[in-house]
Amino acid sequence: MIFFTMRQNVLHVENVSLVDIAQRYGTPCYVYSRAALRFAAQEFQDAFHAQNTLICYSVKVNSNIAILNEFARLGFGFDIVSGGELARVLAAGGDARKVVFSGVGKTVEEMEAALNAGIKCFNLESAAEMEALATTAQRLGKQAPISFRINPDVDPKTHPYISTGLRENKFGIPLKDAHPLYRRARQMSSLRVVGIDMHIGSQITDIAPYREAAQKLVTLLDVLEKDGIALEHVDIGGGLGVRYRDDDHPPAIADFAAMCREIFSERHEQLILEPGRRLVAEAGILLTQILYLKPGEPRSFAIVDGAMNDLFRPALYQAWHPVHQVTITNVSDQTRLWNIVGPICESADFLAQDRQLALRQGELLAIGVAGAYGMAMSSNYNSRPRVCEVMVDNNQIFEIRKRETVASLFSEERIPSDKNQNAC
Ligand code: LLP
């Protein structure tokens, strides 16, 4: 959180006070530091500069076009999982030739859009998907660049909902099936075999599972090469964790890069990475205001205007996010244990639990490390308009997404007429 600092008892993002942002744009509101985004991007670029590497920002993590544009201008590629994400990348000025397309359920329409845009690679996850892509590419008179996503069956030691590289997960193809599939793909004239891919999970805080999985890929690469199947790139996915709380110890990017150098040192293929969280998590906070305090036994609740629809991670994964008070007024105030909860009618609607704080009605809170999978996973549950997003650059503020209006929430809905004549 180095770009979020306390100055004269007020939390600032770069050189802007969060109190000013709340006054101008209202709450709840996501606030990002542009310097933090650039800092994280630079860290990756520095760590990998000696290797032939393409860093593909994983769009799902935070897909605001201002953020995509930031990475596009720094030369990044993109990891997408839908036609919607492809459209965003192109609208943001991203280069289609640096786009890899992941996901187990690409539709024919999405394949067509990606083929027409001329993406770098389709990461295929099943034989059936390979057949569908081959047919689609043939129909369009194109050759689709492909890799297979391998499921290396390693345990990334993270939350079960975000583990993806175990045999029981829906992702990728088993190692033992890979060679026959590559052989089959090689024979298809509308496919061009260019790479190999993996992604073992997210919020990974240990390098060991990466090493184990990457070694399995190298063994497979040797087998393929002996069979005359030479690849252009190896994509090792995303997943590097961040520090949500003090006892999280995610690996340094430089150490991760050193591991990659060691494993792939004898290889000639380009290395592709698909980081997401590590690039944007610490660049963002969710700014929210306390509506009411409800002290009591056995729990005390601080009811804020932000809710699980704005930041779903605590409800979905019991994720822990730091809570910062934006203004410190009286340090001698009595503290107590608070649950920070939203107005939604669900007991899972909490942003934080059991925080020892001295809180006041009306004060502002910043929910930290919220730049990743925050806004991107937000919804309109309870007919709550999605919040606005602002990006701060030094002392400038850019509103990069306006707060939704209530009217827009149901503008696409229709009441059926009483007469049945116009029904379709
Ligand atoms: N590549 C692929 C194929 C992915 O599925 C993902 C994330 C990434 C890259 C980026 O992973 P990262 O570097 O951000 O860990 N909503 C969950 C995380 C879901 C991860 C989905 N896949 C959360 O809030 O923790």
Q: What are the structural domains of the chain?
A: 4-31+281-409 (2.40.37.10), 34-279 (3.20.20.10)
Which pair of tokens denotes residue 324? 């910062």
pLDDT value for 160: 79
Phi, psi of 208 (to 5 degrees): -55, -45
| Partners of residue 55 on adjacent β-strands | 273
Q: Find out whether the beta carbon of 373 lies less than 6 Å from any atom of ligand 1.
A: yes
Mean pLDDT, residues 326-355: 92
Euclidean distance between CA atoms 321 and 301, whole angstroms: 17
**Residues 63, 312, 125, CA angle at the centre, nearest 5°?**
55
Confidence of residue 163 (pLDDT cuts 50, 70, 90): confident
Contact 349, 342 (CB under 8 A): yes
pLDDT value for 424: 57
Residue 420 has pLDDT above 70, yes or no: no
Residue 63 has pLDDT above 70, yes or no: yes
pLDDT value for 283: 98
Residue 300 has pLDDT above 70, yes or no: yes
Percent of the chain, pLDDT > 90? 90
Percent of the chain, pLDDT > 70? 98
Euclidean distance between CA atoms 39 and 56, whole angstroms: 16
Mean pLDDT, residues 115-128: 97
Residue of 366 and 159 predicted with greater confidence:
366
Contact 280, 61 (CB under 8 A): yes
Distances (CA, A) of 239 to 101, 174, 326, 360: 16, 20, 30, 38
Mean pLDDT, residues 238-267: 95
Residue 421 has pLDDT above 90, yes or no: no
Mean pLDDT, residues 292-308: 96
Q: Ligand 1: which of 61, 85, 202 to mutate, most ligand atoms within 8 Å of CB?
A: 202
Distances (CA, A) of 269 to 103, 218, 254, 398: 23, 11, 20, 40
Q: Find out whether the beta carbon of 79 lies less than 6 Å from any atom of ligand 1.
A: yes
Contact 190, 229 (CB under 8 A): no
Coil, helix or strand at residue 22: helix
Confidence of residue 423 (pLDDT cuts 50, 70, 90): low
pLDDT value for 329: 77
Mean pLDDT of the chain: 95
Give residues with Cβ within 8 angstroms of 298, minimum separation 6. Answer: none
Counts for the chain of helices (H) and strands (E), in that order: 12, 21
Confidence of residue 197 (pLDDT cuts 50, 70, 90): very high
The dihedral formed by the CA atoms of 92, 94, 96 and 101, expressed in degrees to the nearest 10 = -80
pLDDT value for 332: 73
Distance, CA 71 to ligand 1 centroid (Å)? Answer: 17
Q: Find out whether the beta carbon of 239 lies less than 6 Å from any atom of ligand 1.
A: yes
Mean pLDDT, residues 265-275: 94
Handedness of CA 106, 109, 112, 117 (dihedral sign): negative
Mean pLDDT, residues 167-175: 87
Residue 347 has pLDDT above 60, yes or no: yes
Q: Find out whether the beta carbon of 306 lies less than 6 Å from any atom of ligand 1.
A: no
Q: Which atom of ligand 1 is nearest to the CA of 123?
A: 3
Contact 63, 80 (CB under 8 A): no
Confidence of residue 164 (pLDDT cuts 50, 70, 90): confident
Give the pTM: 0.96
Euclidean distance between CA atoms 224 and 227, whole angstroms: 5
Distances (CA, A) of 194 to 39, 108, 267: 32, 21, 15
Contact 405, 389 (CB under 8 A): no
pLDDT value for 171: 87
Quickly count: other Cβ atoms within 10 Å of residue 166's Cβ: 17
Long-range CB pairs of 219-225, under 8 A, 24+ apart, other chains included: 220/150, 220/175, 220/178, 220/179, 220/196, 221/196, 221/267, 221/269, 223/179, 224/179, 224/182, 224/196
Say whether 345 is catalytic.
Answer: yes
Q: Which atom of ligand 1 is nearest to the CA of 377?
A: 16
- C-alpha closest to that of 77 among 281, 275, 280: 275
pLDDT value for 320: 98
Distance, CA 294 to ligand 1 centroid (Å)? Answer: 36
- C-alpha closest to that of 320 among 375, 246, 251: 246
Distance, CA 292 to ligand 1 centroid (Å)? Answer: 35
**Residues 362, 368, 372, CA angle at the centre, nearest 5°?**
130
Distance, CA 374 to ligand 1 centroid (Å)? Answer: 12
Residue 408, burial from CB neighbour count under 10 angstroms (0-12, 13-18, 19+): exposed
- DSSP string across 150-162: EE------S-GGG
